[in-house]
Structure 1
Amino acid sequence: MDLRAFIAGLPKVDLHCHIADALPVAMLFDIARANGVSLAPYTQQTIYQSVDFEDYLERLAVVCSALSRPEDFRQLLFEALRNMAGCNVRYCELFFNPDDHSLAYPAMLEAYCDAIDAAEANFGIRARLIPSINRALGAARGMAMVEDVIRHRHAHVIGIGLDNNEVLGQPGQYVEAFDRARAHGLHVSAHAGERFDTVELRDAVDLLDIQRIDHGYAVVDDPNLMSRLRESRIPFTACWSSCELVNGRASAITEMLRAGLNVTINTDAPASFSTDINREYLLVAEAMEFGAAEISAIARAGVLASYMQEDDKRMLLAEISAYTAQTSGRVEHHQYISA
């Protein structure tokens, strides 16, 4: 068994994946055609070829514009979960931005929950939802989204997030929305320090009292903050491929791992970056020269950082331990960076 095969068979979670960014390109163009939406000037070959973060966000807005019917959202998520289950993802927590689409939140939620139930029945994968505030739309829209989530509570919705370009909405603007969500039993995380702003990252931790940091690569530029977050053991949901584009240096993740931060590995945008969880694990393993034991530790960190019930965590941790014990002695290390 080589490292690639070990990773493929390893039970895993994915805590940072955006549903709209998990849409296979052929399905995207089929949905757009059915809805009479033009994706021009993009083609199937170019739609997911972003050159920088701003370009990526512009293309994502185009992707979101193609989705309008409940069946679009149902079909998209069901296919995304099929692909994740094929990579041995046992559990995932998925971001979506209700305000990025024309479909009303209750109808969108129903479609997503239908897909989650169908995927669990067909593939055995469990998924939960994290509606996310688009900080580019302002604090009032963010609060309205949280109120919508509270008004239409569903067991599959476990938290709220905060995303989009961090320079467009500082954490302090969303304190009330996060307090409101927390008061109603929702978990809270935020995209913060994704690019270069250590102050924004610190504010997300201090002002929003988040349980997890989505991305957080700027931490490597602030030794004091790094020390503090290492001691607190707050999880980071890191994503190698998107970090290369957005932050410009995926090596930030290796710095975070070497510093002893509580780092989990996830996909973020599997369609845009032509990736999956196995590839993300492999890229980190090669950069860090990890073997089976270290890779298993990453998988365990993901489970522990998840919002799963404690009994479910224990069961999945036991699976990871059993798999590692059975296979790790047979793993050979090879170079796959160019694969």
Structure 2
Amino acid sequence: MSDLPTFVQGLPKAELHLHIEGSLEPELMFELARRNRLDLPFRSVEEVRAAYAFGNLQDFLDIYYQGAGVLRTEEDFKDLALAYFRRVAADGCRHVELFFDPQTHTDRGIPFAVVADGLLAGMAEAETSLGVGSGLILCYLRHLDEDAAFATLRMAEPYLDRILGVGLDSSEVGHPPSKFARVFRASRERGLKLVAHAGEEGPPEYVWEALDVLGVDRIDHGNRALEDPKLVERLVADGMTLTVCPLSNLKLCVVDDLAEHPLKRMLGLGLKATLNSDDPAYFGGYLGRNWIATADALGLTKAELVTLAKNSFTGSFLPPETVQARLAEIDAYASSSAYSQ
């Protein structure tokens, strides 16, 4: 009989909520700092890991932006992407829709092209060498103003044929989705898909705004939607995908115990939830670790794991024929697996 880790590793899946800057492991941080002749405020890898104790989202963001400062060249961004793809390929991942934060880099003088070209090169190599396809989602930083987001959209113009969509991340509380209504409308007019972080630390009203003001195609996180039965009803009726990140929620104290995570409840309510890693270098686990730890803590059944895998593809921005092929692959794997939880 197959055990849980073996079953999860072999289950075809996609990752829809991954911040590439959040996959920067301390070892690579030190390597890039040496390469770029930069001084870090940490003396060792162990000291960096000890700093990864967060009481809330802002505690994490402070060190996240500090760590991103070692990324300077196309080679750095390509190496960052490939390090992530190697890990996720081992977790049975077939497709990633990868977030990046250009303002984190352009605001410190790194040209948009350096960031985009490096990431796109890493993505292309990962598809060829690892068999993991991917798409790029540009995220606007919500703690900055909408004019800064518009400036980023203008920088991205030469790359729009290689960018899937735009998202909204960074400090949620006090920065409602409606703050970015105009730039999201402009992004849609350019043919981009729309996603937004909402309902992680922010209230259910932020999820409503993401739906009705921004017109998003997908909600990132969405945990606090469960506080509003009407909102749950709306999300179910719309078939809206939620990109849920359990180990992130635990690390940032959104939940106190993984056994209390709402993912199983979401599935029971008919919500189209998916499992993702968010910022895996900081939150204690990549995609496979999120699947295994969450399944173990919540007692997820084989049928629920298969549903999560299918949701990851039907909630993606892949072409319909590719989605159907992946769903058939999941069915074939599940029917041949001895796993019977």
Common topology (TM > 0.5)? yes
Within the alignment, does 1:203 sit opposite 2:209 as a pair? Answer: yes
Identify unmatched segments of 5+ residues in structure 2: none
Q: State the partner residue of 2:339.
A: 331
Residues in 1 aligned to 2:184 and 2:113: alpha-carbon distance in whole angstroms: 21
Q: State the partner residue of 2:33.
A: 32
- Tell me the SS of whatever aligns to 1:167: coil
State which drifts further: 117-126 or 247-256: 247-256
Preserved contact between residue 78 and residue 122 of structure 2 (Cα < 8 Å): yes
Q: Deviations over 1:210-231 (max 9, x none)?
A: 0100001111211221122122
Preserved contact between residue 88 and residue 288 of structure 2 (Cα < 8 Å): no
Q: Identify the match of residue 154 of structure 2 among 147, 151, 157.
A: 147
- Tell me the SS of whatever aligns to 2:151: helix
- Tell me the SS of whatever aligns to 2:46: coil
State which drifts further: 45-54 or 267-276: 45-54
Preserved contact between residue 240 and residue 272 of structure 2 (Cα < 8 Å): yes
User: CA RMSD, aligned part only?
Assistant: 1.5
Instruction: Measure how far apart 1:168 and its partner are.
Output: 4.2
Residues in 2 aligned to 1:94 and 1:152: alpha-carbon distance in whole angstroms: 15
Preserved contact between residue 243 and residue 276 of structure 2 (Cα < 8 Å): yes
Q: State the partner residue of 1:336.
A: none
For residues 43 and 216 of structure 1, do their structure 2 counterparts lie closer, same or farther at Cα, with a shift above 3 Å needed? farther
Preserved contact between residue 236 and residue 270 of structure 2 (Cα < 8 Å): yes
Preserved contact between residue 196 and residue 219 of structure 2 (Cα < 8 Å): yes
State percent identity of aligned pairs.
29
Preserved contact between residue 173 and residue 201 of structure 2 (Cα < 8 Å): no
Q: State the partner residue of 1:308.
A: 318
Instruction: Measure how far apart 1:272 and its partner are.
Output: 0.7
Report 1:252-331 matches (<5 A).
252-327=262-337, 330-331=338-339
Q: State the partner residue of 2:130.
A: 123
Q: State the partner residue of 2:89.
A: 85
Q: Deviations over 1:248-299 (max 9, x none)?
A: 2152333322322110111111111221211111223223322222211110
Number of residue pairs matched by the alignment? 330
Residues in 2 aligned to 1:46 and 1:239: alpha-carbon distance in whole angstroms: 25
Preserved contact between residue 172 and residue 202 of structure 2 (Cα < 8 Å): no
Residues in 1 aligned to 2:46 and 2:137: alpha-carbon distance in whole angstroms: 30
The runs of at least 4 consecutive aligned structure 1 residues that moved more than 3 Å come to none
Instruction: Measure how far apart 1:196 and its partner are.
Output: 4.1
- Tell me the SS of whatever aligns to 1:45: helix
Preserved contact between residue 216 and residue 236 of structure 1 (Cα < 8 Å): yes
Residues in 2 aligned to 1:17 and 1:5: alpha-carbon distance in whole angstroms: 23
Instruction: Measure how far apart 1:332 and its partner are.
Output: 5.0
For residues 154 and 109 of structure 1, do their structure 2 counterparts lie closer, same or farther at Cα, with a shift above 3 Å needed? farther
Report 1:233-244 matches (<5 A).
233-244=239-250
Instruction: Measure how far apart 1:42 and its partner are.
Output: 6.5
Preserved contact between residue 264 and residue 300 of structure 2 (Cα < 8 Å): no
Could you state the TM-score of these two structures normalised by the residue count of structure 2? 0.93
